[in-house]
Amino acid sequence: MEGAMEEISAVCSLQFDDRGDDNDDGVEIWYYNLDQRQSEGSYGFAYTPGTDSDEGLVAINWSTYQNADGSFKNSIASGSFYGITFLHELSHAVGLKHPHDRGLFGQPRFPGLTHRSNEFRDKGDFDQNAHPFTQLTYVDKGARNGMVPRSIEAYGFLQTLGALDIAALQWMYGINPDAASGDDTYTLPLENREGTGWRAIWDTGGVDRITAGGATAPVTIDLRNATLGDDVNAGGYVSRAEDVFGGFTIAHDWYGRNVGQSAGLCVIEIAIGGKGDDVLIGNRADNLLKGKKGADVLVAGGGDGNRVTGGKGRDQFWISAQHGALVKVTDFNPRKDRLVFDVDVSAVTLDSVGNGSQVLIDGRVVAQLLGVSVRNLDLERHALFSGFEGL
C-alpha cells in the first residue's frame, strides 16, 4: 500500500501523511485487511470521497493472496494480475472510478461504453478501456490486444497508473512538477517473467532515454506522449520488445487542465535500440535516435536538433515535410540505407554542405547526411515515398 501511495504522489500534488492512530479525526484514507468470511471472492474494495463515514476506506482481502500458513498462493509482484489491486483500490479512495461505471455525481462512463457493456470485455472507443492504458478497467486478461496475457499470470499487467489514470489525477489535484527531474533511463523488459509489466512514465526534467538494453528481438520505442484525444493513442504510444507483455507509455505532457497545451515537462529525448530490426520514433523535442544493429526504421521528430544513427544493418531514415524540423543523419550508407519521405520524391532535392549533403523539400532543408558526398547519392536509388503522417 505504501508503494501505491508513492505512485499517486509521484504524478500529482496529492500527498499522504501517516497519522498512525485510526481514531484521529484527521484521517481521510483508511486501510485494513479482510478475511474470506468478510468478503467471499473479493480482491478488495474501497469507498470513494463523499460516501459519508466510510469515505476513503480501502480494504484488501488477504485470503485471496495468502494461504492459512502465510505462504502466498497468488503472486502480488509488480506487474502481476493481482499486484495492481492495492493501487486500484487506493485510486478509488482518492476519487477515481471504474471506466464502466457512472460516478456518484453523474460522471459519464468511458467513451463508447453504456450500461449494456460487458465490463470484463468491452474496451470502449479506440480500445482504450484496457491495460496498459488504465489500471481502473476490468478489461485486463480479457483485453485480447496482444499487450497483456490472456490468463492470470505473475507478469504482463500494469505496474503503475496508466496514462489515462495519471491524467485524471492531475486534472483533480494538479501535476507534480518535480517528479523524476534528473537524467533517467527506462529499460525495456525483455522476457515474460515475474516483475515484467507496463509502466506509464511521468518524468518532468533532465535528459531521459528509453533503451532496449541487450534486446535481440525487435523492439519499438516511441517517444510521443499520450494524446488524451479521440484517437487510438489517447492512452499512450507503446514501447516494447516483440512478444513481451510489458514496456512503457508516456503520460500526456500538460499542466493538468488543457489537453494539448504542452507543459514542456514530460519529455523523453533519447531512444536506443538493440540487435533486432527496431522501430524508433521521435517526438517534437530534439531527439537522439540510435538503432544499433539490425535493419532499423528511425522516424525523426519535430525538433531542430535531431540526430539519428542507424548503426549496422540496412536502415531506413523517415523524414517529414510537415514541420520545420532538421534531422542530422550521422551514418547514412548509400550502399544499403534509404531515406523515406511523406511527400512525393519529386519534391526532394539534394545539395552539398560542408563535408556532407543536405536534403531539401520544396527548397527547405529538412535533413543533413553527415560525411556523405552528394556525388554518391541518387534519389531514384536512395529515396522512397511512404505517405506516412509526420509527427
Rounded (to 5) percent helix, strand, coil in the chain: 15, 20, 65
Given a cut of 60, is residue 27 above it in pLDDT?
no
pLDDT of residue 55: 76
pLDDT of residue 34: 59
DSSP state of 158: B
Task: For 322-347, write each residue's pLDDT tens digit.
Answer: 877 899 999 999 999 999 998 899 99
Set of cell numbers at residue 187: 529499460
Given a cut of 70, is residue 271 above it in pLDDT?
yes
Strand order across the beta sheet in which 57-61 lies: 30-34, 57-61, 44-46
Given a cut of 60, is residue 107 above it in pLDDT?
yes
Q: Is 257 exposed, middle or buried (0-12, 13-18, 19+ CB in 10 A)?
A: exposed
pLDDT of residue 52: 67
Set of cell numbers at residue 156: 504482463
What is d(CA 218, CA 295) in angstroms, rounded to the nearest whole number? 10
Residue 313's SS3 state is: coil
Decide: 312 and 292 in contact? Cβ < 8 Å.
yes
Q: Return the residue matching grid coordinates 500500500.
A: 1
What is the band of 367 on the pLDDT scale with cuts at 50, 70, 90? Answer: very high
* Selection from 144, 139, 136 nearest residue 84 by Cα: 136
pLDDT of residue 205: 96
Domains assigned to the chain:
182-385 (2.150.10.10)
Instruction: Spell out the alpha helix ranges (H) of the chain.
Output: 2-11, 85-93, 163-173, 379-382
More confident residue, 163 or 30: 163
Q: What's the Cα-to-Cα distance from 24 to each of 16, 18, 28, 108, 310, rounded to whole Å?
A: 15, 11, 9, 35, 60
More confident residue, 141 or 57: 141
Q: Looking at this protein, which amino acid is placed at residue 37?
A: R
More confident residue, 262 or 389: 262
* Selection from 281, 311, 305 nearest residue 293 by Cα: 311
pLDDT of residue 292: 94
